[in-house]
Amino acid sequence: MTAPLLQVRDLKVHFSVRGQGLFAAPQTLKAVDGVSFNLASGETLGIVGESGCGKSTLGRAVLQLLPATAGSVAWLGEELTALDKATLKARRQDLQIVFQDPLASLDPRMTAGNIIAEPLRNFHSDLSALERKARVKEMMDQVGLLPTMINRYPHEFSGGQCQRIGIARAMILNPKLVVCDEPVSALDVSIRAQIINLLMDLQSRLNLSMLFISHDLSVVRHVSRRVMVLYLGKVMELADRDSLYAAPHHPYTKALISAVPIPDPDTERAKPRVVVNDDLPSPLNPPSGCVFRTRCPKATGICAKVTPILEPAGPGHDVACHHWRD
């Protein structure tokens, strides 16, 4: 087995949040709390979970856009969290990100051409303006934008086109890893398939690794080879796609999968549901032991006392639950 491209070990991102009241002590919000995974070259890891579970924070911490509180992010064996500014900047060539909100991720005062060219200006300042323009046009063509739109501004594009600009900006440096932070959740359903296919197409062409963050299980199933389920900043289950969708072991994963709607009213009505009660507990004050126990149908006494560790439940299938065998 080749060395992984990206190796994340026990990554923690904690934020200090001011407490309620005048003299309250600051509280710690554990957005990501001890996440570990490997990513091989050309692989896609899907990251799913509900709102506020730390998906986006994880993606940003991997790219060092947010400082990690503890743990390690090793890129080709090199520790990213310890790098100085200049070296980190050089590494950014290989690490890119596609954002959720297509319009908000583009500078409204810049033309599409300038937006796509910005990484080139940062890393290849030796290129002449003409060469840069040629590269930008070529990239626009690759992501399905007409090169004649190079002088247009973001507000003159549709959401899908804006996302294509964002993708072009991420891809123009030929990165090795792209974090896709819910790239399609702000788009119309009709556009989603196009953007996902574009991403997968670019991935196979450029041999990219992807971290695909989404709360849409069907999308993740389509693009990912492996899937990681996050809950309150902790990994619940990490497995190969087919194994996860066919035989989820963790009660939370089961609940998530059973909540995916089936586009047929009769089957949808007849389908058994795993119902999860209550709201998501506050990440400021997570439950003791297993963080999911307050909403888990299988919770017993041990769940409150002992934090389950991620243990292998089959080939390429890890789960963090005391009761997965039941």
Partner 1 sequence: MTSSSLTSPQDAPAVQGRSLWQDAWRRLLANRAALVSLIVLTLIAIAAVFGPLFLPWSYDQIDWDHVEAMPPDFASGHYFGTDSLGRDLLARTLFGGRISLMVGILATFVALTIGVTVGTVAGYVGGKTDQFLMRFVDLMYSVPLTFFVIILMVFFGRNFILMFLAIGAVEWLTMARIVRGQTLTLRSKEFIEAARASGGSTPAIILRHIVPNVLGVVMVYVTLTIPNVILLESFLSFLGLGVQEPMTSWGMLINDGAAELEINPRTLIIPAAFMTATLFCFNFLGDGLRDALDPKDR
Binding region for partner 1 (CB under 8 A): 60, 63, 65, 89, 92-93, 95-97, 99-101, 104-112, 118-119, 122-123, 137, 141, 146-153, 155-156, 166, 169-170, 173
CB 236 within 8 A of CB 319: yes
Which one, 63 or 313, has the nearer CB to partner 1? 63
Among 146, 150, 144, 152, residue whose Cα is nearest residue 130: 150
Give min distance, CB of 205 to partner 1, in A.
19
Which one, 111 or 185, has the nearer CB to partner 1? 111
Give min distance, CB of 187 to partner 1, in A.
15
Between CA 67 and CA 173, with CA 166 as vertex, the angle to 5 degrees is: 75
Which one, 115 or 291, has the nearer CB to partner 1? 115
Q: Which residues contact 251 (CB under 8 A, 6 or more apart)?
A: 274, 292, 296, 297, 298, 321, 323
Give min distance, CB of 90 to partner 1, in A.
8
Give min distance, CB of 322 to partner 1, in A.
39
Give the whole-angstrom CA distance, residue 210 versus residue 95. 10
Which one, 52 or 147, has the nearer CB to partner 1? 147
Tell whether the torsion through CA atoms of 9, 180, 119 and 172 is positive or negative.
Answer: positive
Among 116, 106, 110, residue whose Cα is nearest residue 169: 116
Residue 259's identity, in one-letter code, is: A
Give min distance, CB of 183 to partner 1, in A.
12
Which one, 95 or 290, has the nearer CB to partner 1? 95
Measured in Å, how far apart are the chain's first and last C-alpha atoms? 33
CB 111 within 8 A of CB 150: yes
Residue 148 is encoded by which pair of tokens?
């004649």
Place of tokens 């743990």: 71
Which one, 116 or 296, has the nearer CB to partner 1? 116
Give min distance, CB of 33 to partner 1, in A.
22
Give min distance, CB of 43 to partner 1, in A.
21
- For 229, the 3-state DSSP assignment is strand
Q: Which residues contact 260 (CB under 8 A, 6 or more apart)?
A: 217, 218
Give min distance, CB of 32 to partner 1, in A.
17
Which one, 58 or 296, has the nearer CB to partner 1? 58
| Stretch (H or E) spanning 313 | strand 311-314
Among 312, 233, 231, 282, residue whose Cα is nearest residue 35: 233
Give the whole-angstrom CA distance, residue 116 versus residue 120. 8
Residue 77's identity, in one-letter code, is: G
Give min distance, CB of 186 to partner 1, in A.
11
Which one, 86 or 270, has the nearer CB to partner 1? 86
Which one, 97 or 256, has the nearer CB to partner 1? 97
Query: Looking at the chain, how many residues does it have?
Result: 326
